Amino acid sequence: MASNSGTPSDLVIQRRDMRFGRDTPNPRWWHGGDPGRTAFFNALSSTFPLGEKFFMQSIKRYRDRTEEPLRSQIDDFMYQESMHSREHAVFNRQAEDAGYDIRPLEERTRVTVSWAKSRPHQIQLAATCALEHFTAVLAHGVLADPKYLDGVSPEALRLWRWHAIEEIEHKAVAFDTWNSVTRNLPGIRRWARRCVVMATATVRFHWVIFRNTADLLKQDGLNNFGTWMRLLGFLYGRPGPMRVLVQGAFGYMRPGFHPWHTDDRELVEGALESLNMFNEQESPA
């Protein structure tokens, strides 16, 4: 069943306090020994602690103007995002322990977030909607296609699959908040505004992630044509995380779009079963 907003009325956004990487260090090239793929995912992770705090702030300011069940979903969203921020901060420190300087990447994120915060509050919320759609699209790929994380270290696999599960669970919270906040705007203005913000976010996202990736490859002495050709083949060929992200951006711009038009809860249930089985195997007898 679906609510009037498009979000399933029986949706559960689960609060989980999970911890990763405290006892098991990541190899330098933890993504199957591939420096390009490792650099891309490290570049992505470097944006999460500050980025997710921005998401939480942009939604929290509207919490008391919403009604149930959205108000409770906002609370659950903020809990999940706070856990993601904490765990990716640990993951980023592991990259530093492996020898990378993450500070330039974090500074680039800080500059981007500061720029976003200078926009009106509704535009900040629209930016959160766009970027949450990106994470939901990438999360679907991570859970649906094993090639996204083929050969990664076990602890990193657990982290990224857990993160993907929760991004799908709360993928419509920002969008539903946007619909609630802008309900008195003419439909064409609401649609046009979120589309312009999505286009801007798509360009900005590519710029930040690829600059971050290049920084890390430079530190490995591998910021060269061959490394980038292999990486771009992965990103835009098969499995194509950036290709499906761009496709998702165009899908987001359809009039009448809603994140739960793709109901991937069955995918989440399967991923949770495998994650829980792994946790049980790792638990001391």
- Mean pLDDT for the stretch of residues 164-186: 97
Any domain includes 214: yes
pLDDT in tens, 42-84: 999 999 999 999 999 999 999 999 999 999 999 999 999 999 9
Q: Give the C-alpha separation, 28 to 100, whole Å.
A: 8
Q: For residues 202-211, b (16+ Cβ closer than 10 Å) or e, as one string?
A: bebbeebbbe
Any domain includes 182: yes
- Mean pLDDT for the stretch of residues 189-196: 96
Any domain includes 19: no
Q: For residues 220-248, b (16+ Cβ closer than 10 Å) or e, as one string?
A: bebbeeebbeebeebbeeebbbbbbbbeb
Q: Read off the CATH number of the domain in which 97 is found.
A: 1.10.620
Question: What's the confidence (pLDDT) of residue 263?
Answer: 95
pLDDT band at 278 (very low <50, low <70, confident <90, very high): low
pLDDT band at 281 (very low <50, low <70, confident <90, very high): very low
Cβ neighbour number for residue 89 with a 10 Å cutoff: 15
Mean pLDDT (the chain) is 93
Percent of the chain with pLDDT over 70: 95
Q: Is 184 exposed, middle or buried (0-12, 13-18, 19+ CB in 10 A)?
A: exposed
Any domain includes 9: no
Determine the structural domain holding residue 142 and report its residue range: 35-269
- Identity of the residue numbered 147: K
Any domain includes 282: no
Count of domains forming the chain:
1
Q: Give the C-alpha separation, 235 to 116, whole Å.
A: 26
Any domain includes 24: no
Any domain includes 46: yes
Any domain includes 82: yes
pLDDT band at 283 (very low <50, low <70, confident <90, very high): very low
pLDDT in tens, 232-264: 999 999 889 999 999 999 999 999 999 999 999
Please state the pTM of the whole predicted model: 0.93
Q: In 3D, which of 73, 65, 60 has the Cα closest to residue 7?
A: 73
